[in-house]
Amino acid sequence: MKNMVVKLVLLSVFLTAFGCSLSLAQPNLHEAWVVECEDGDTVKVKLTEKPDKLEGIRYLLASAPEKEDCLGLEATDYNRDLVFGKQLWLELEPQDGDYLRVHMGDRILAYAYLDPYGVDMVNLRLVQTGSAKIDVRDVKDDTPPSDFKVKYLDRFTQAQIEAARERRGWWGECDDYKDSNLVIVFAKFWGGDEIIYILNRGEEEFSLISNWKLIDEAGNEIIFTPALTLGEECFLPPGGILRVHSGPDIPQEYSLVTCGEAEVDFYWTRRKIWTNKRDTATLESSYGNYRYEYKGG
């Protein structure tokens, strides 16, 4: 009994750190045992409810590099150390008498937890450590934030910002622009409020009116000049995030930019700019001495 009390206290502290409250095990989680790790984001399991069948599980919202790519073997090893031979609790989406699967149907899409309370998520750990990047599947402009495929997106976005800020995993050795201090860390290409997240991961403040520009694949661009801030000097502090919004859901009346904050929202246009499938967002200096690309996933 004493050990149980200690465990509950520790779990309460862990939950509180994530802004959650203590609760019993989630009844909608499915128990499974991991029998194989295929790579950094895919495992094979035996579900307790179907012990005679081997199922492939693809982690949602996380895409690890392929084994032959930079960090691919390390990501696979990390995933194996986390889950191989262990029990997982899977959050699944029922669909037509089965569960939501990838396009070809051979793997179930899931959020995988190391505990029955739905707290310690494997998918999120992969993104936090830079072993994987956010991967969003089959979204449309009318996909709601509550949709199973994106329901935890805010947590994943924050985790990816942290990984990029600290240059963890992929964001260090594998990033083609690893020496860049101003980086695109995520691009929400869908919905009525499209958002490009830009991070200053350097040690000095960055001027937001230094004539750099944000461009999509179709050539739409916005150039950051003094006119955007009505001539006011405007800096993004170290660790600061600039969110560039576009789309019909942004406010009818909005200010151009708010300067001097750790988190800055810039409202570009009420037109839709980005495509829903793997558009590329590019940061580029007007003087040709800076470039950063983010390929949507």
* Residue range 78-83: mean pLDDT, rounded: 98
3-state SS, residue 127 = helix
φ and ψ of 175, to 5 deg: -75, 125
Instruction: Indicate whether 36 pLDDT > 50.
Output: yes
b/e per residue 223-232 (b: at least 16 CB within 10 A): ebeeebbeee
H-run or E-run covering 161: helix 153-165
When pLDDT is cut at 50, 70 and 90, the band that residue 230 belongs to is low
Query: Residues 6 or more apart from 98 whose CB is under 8 A from it?
Result: none
CA separation, residue 286 to residues 105, 211, 259, 291 (Å): 46, 6, 21, 10
Whole-angstrom Cα distance, residue 89 to residue 288? Answer: 49
Instruction: Indicate whether 172 pLDDT > 80.
Output: yes
| Mean pLDDT of the residues in the chain | 87
* Residue range 36-53: mean pLDDT, rounded: 95
Rounded to the nearest angstrom, the gap between the alpha carbon of residue 109 and the centroid of all alpha carbons in its chain is 16
Q: What are 191's two structure tokens?
A: 């919905």
- For 53-65, the pLDDT digits (tens) are 999 999 999 999 9
- For 112-127, the pLDDT digits (tens) are 999 999 999 999 999 9
When pLDDT is cut at 50, 70 and 90, the band that residue 180 belongs to is confident
3-state SS, residue 110 = strand
Query: Residues 6 or more apart from 3 whose CB is under 8 A from it?
Result: none
Size (the chain), residues: 297
Whole-angstrom Cα distance, residue 217 to residue 54? Answer: 41
Whole-angstrom Cα distance, residue 261 to residue 198? Answer: 14
- pTM over cut 0.75: yes
- For 147-170, the pLDDT digits (tens) are 999 999 999 999 999 999 999 999
Whole-angstrom Cα distance, residue 251 to residue 269? Answer: 10
Q: Which is more confident, 255 or 71?
A: 71
CB 149 within 8 A of CB 137: yes
Give the torsion sign (CA, 149, 79, 86, 43).
Answer: positive
Whole-angstrom Cα distance, residue 58 to residue 42? Answer: 5
- Domains defined along the chain, listed by start: 20-155 (2.40.50.90), 176-295 (2.60.40.1260)
